[in-house]
């Protein structure tokens, strides 16, 4: 994929055996040295291959937790790059998922007012969703993704075989976003999703690479022409408003994509209660989404904590709450007039019906 950006155009390439192709990947690039930011867990799983790939270059191994994205942690990573005498002739290379992408992208956008960086997404969530779109996000205090910029990688290389070593929660986190995007497309893509989800093994099947690629294409169709999130791209927050609040309220005990699934279920129930979504459509979507709900103890959070984080949501524009509601496949819309009493009553009903299937 070639992606147009007002910041800088970039590309996405699918590569087999990526860890054996360092020379092929970097041959055409002009640089003095490479510095690697590497997900600690990925490094542990692929240590020998990663060390061979790095060679004599320098690397920083980083735990992939939301707390590493905090504003207070940034100085540590700026300092490491400066101590390595990183210059604008060098390239920052990232192996990891969304956390390391956010951290790397924000640093790349601000260090020396912009440096070159390349991203190797290693999670399904990053490969099928976050790797494109240009957004970088940093958490501030207790609020998720409150500070950020728009700064895409120069190049993205995807090796879907990395998904073999993901935990079930991390794999299903990617499935959550895959479901979201196909519900936001059309009947053809919705049928593609159902065909894919009907497989016994969601990784080892002939539809896997195709569903990752179609998810990226659907996402691009939403932010093409609206890169800076001022119009249609806002709809991609379907499931994210409540989902982000749940992530923060639970201290990130719920994986992002699974929180988005829960957020979609909540938004659909609110849509049903407002008369926007039909009962039959709600039940159809709920059967699909609830199959991937994580087990979650709702006693770990309270509606007051959820509301606290919803009030700090950067998408909020007025005194009421903002959420993307849904009518049908490809029919989502942003709603800025949701009142607190609606959130409270919907929350009570949603939690009473909730049953994690995994």
pLDDT tens digits for 202-258?
999 999 999 999 999 999 999 998 888 778 899 999 999 999 999 999 999 999 999
Q: Tell me, what's the pLDDT at 20?
A: 97
How many C-beta atoms lie closer than 10 Å to residue 319's C-beta? 10
Q: Tell me, what's the pLDDT at 357?
A: 56
- Bridge partner residues of 137 (DSSP): 148
Q: Tell me, what's the pLDDT at 180?
A: 97
pLDDT tens digits for 281-310?
999 999 999 999 999 999 999 999 999 999
Q: Tell me, what's the pLDDT at 145?
A: 87
Show the tokens assigned to 320.
Answer: 């009421």
Alpha helices for the chain (secondary structure H): 22-26, 40-45, 47-54, 74-83, 98-110, 124-125, 168-183, 187-197, 208-223, 240-249, 256-273, 279-290, 303-311, 340-353
Low-confidence ranges of the chain (pLDDT < 50): 358
Do residues 180 and 218 touch, judged by C-beta distance below 8 A?
Answer: no
Q: 2-165 has which CATH code?
A: 3.40.50.1970
Domain boundaries, the chain: 2-165, 168-353
Reduced to 3 states (helix: H, G, I; strand: E, B; else coil), residue 277 is coil
Question: How far is residue 52's CA from residue 195's CA, in Å, rounded to a whole number?
Answer: 39
Q: Tell me, what's the pLDDT at 358?
A: 45
pTM summary value: 0.93
To 10 degrees, what angle do helices 279-290 and 168-183 make?
A: 150
Query: How would you classify the pairing of strands 2-3 and 135-140?
Result: unpaired
What fold, for 168-353? Dehydroquinate synthase-like, alpha domain (1.20.1090)
């Amino acid at each position: 994929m070639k992606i147009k950006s007002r910041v800088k155009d970039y590309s996405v390439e699918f590569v087999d055996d990526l860890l054996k192709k360092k020379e092929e990947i970097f041959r055409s690039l002009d640089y003095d040295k490479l510095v690697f930011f590497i997900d600690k867990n990925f490094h542990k799983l692929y240590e020998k291959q990663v060390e061979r790939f790095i060679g004599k270059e320098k690397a920083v191994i980083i735990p992939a937790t939301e707390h590493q994205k905090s504003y207070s942690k940034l100085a540590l990573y700026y300092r490491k790059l400066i101590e390595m005498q990183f210059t604008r002739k060098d390239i920052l290379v990232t192996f990891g998922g969304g956390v390391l992408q956010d951290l790397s992208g924000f640093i790349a956008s601000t260090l020396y007012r912009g440096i070159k960086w390349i991203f190797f997404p290693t999670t399904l969530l990053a490969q099928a969703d976050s790797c494109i779109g240009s957004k970088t996000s940093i958490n501030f205090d207790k609020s998720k993704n409150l500070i950020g910029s728009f700064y895409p990688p120069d190049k993205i290389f995807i090796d879907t075989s990395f998904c073999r070593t993901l935990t079930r929660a991390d794999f299903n986190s990617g499935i959550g976003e895959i479901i979201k995007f196909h519900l936001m497309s059309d009947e053809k893509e919705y049928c593609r999703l159902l065909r894919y989800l009907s497989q016994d093994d969601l990784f080892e099947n002939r539809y896997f690479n195709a569903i990752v690629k179609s998810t990226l294409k659907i996402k691009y169709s939403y932010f093409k022409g609206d890169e800076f999130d001022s119009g249609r791209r806002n709809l991609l927050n379907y499931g994210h408003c409540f989902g982000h609040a749940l992530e923060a309220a639970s201290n990130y005990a719920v994986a992002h994509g699974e929180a988005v699934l829960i957020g979609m279920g909540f938004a659909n129930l609110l849509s049903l209660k407002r008369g926007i979504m039909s009962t039959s459509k709600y039940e159809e979507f709920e059967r699909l989404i609830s199959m991937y709900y994580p087990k979650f103890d709702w006693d770990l959070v309270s509606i007051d904590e959820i509301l606290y984080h919803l009030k700090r949501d950067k998408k909020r524009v007025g005194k009421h709450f903002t959420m993307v509601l849904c009518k049908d496949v490809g029919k989502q819309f942003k709603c800025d007039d949701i009142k607190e009493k609606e959130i409270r009553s919907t929350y009570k009903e949603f939690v009473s019906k909730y049953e994690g299937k995994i």
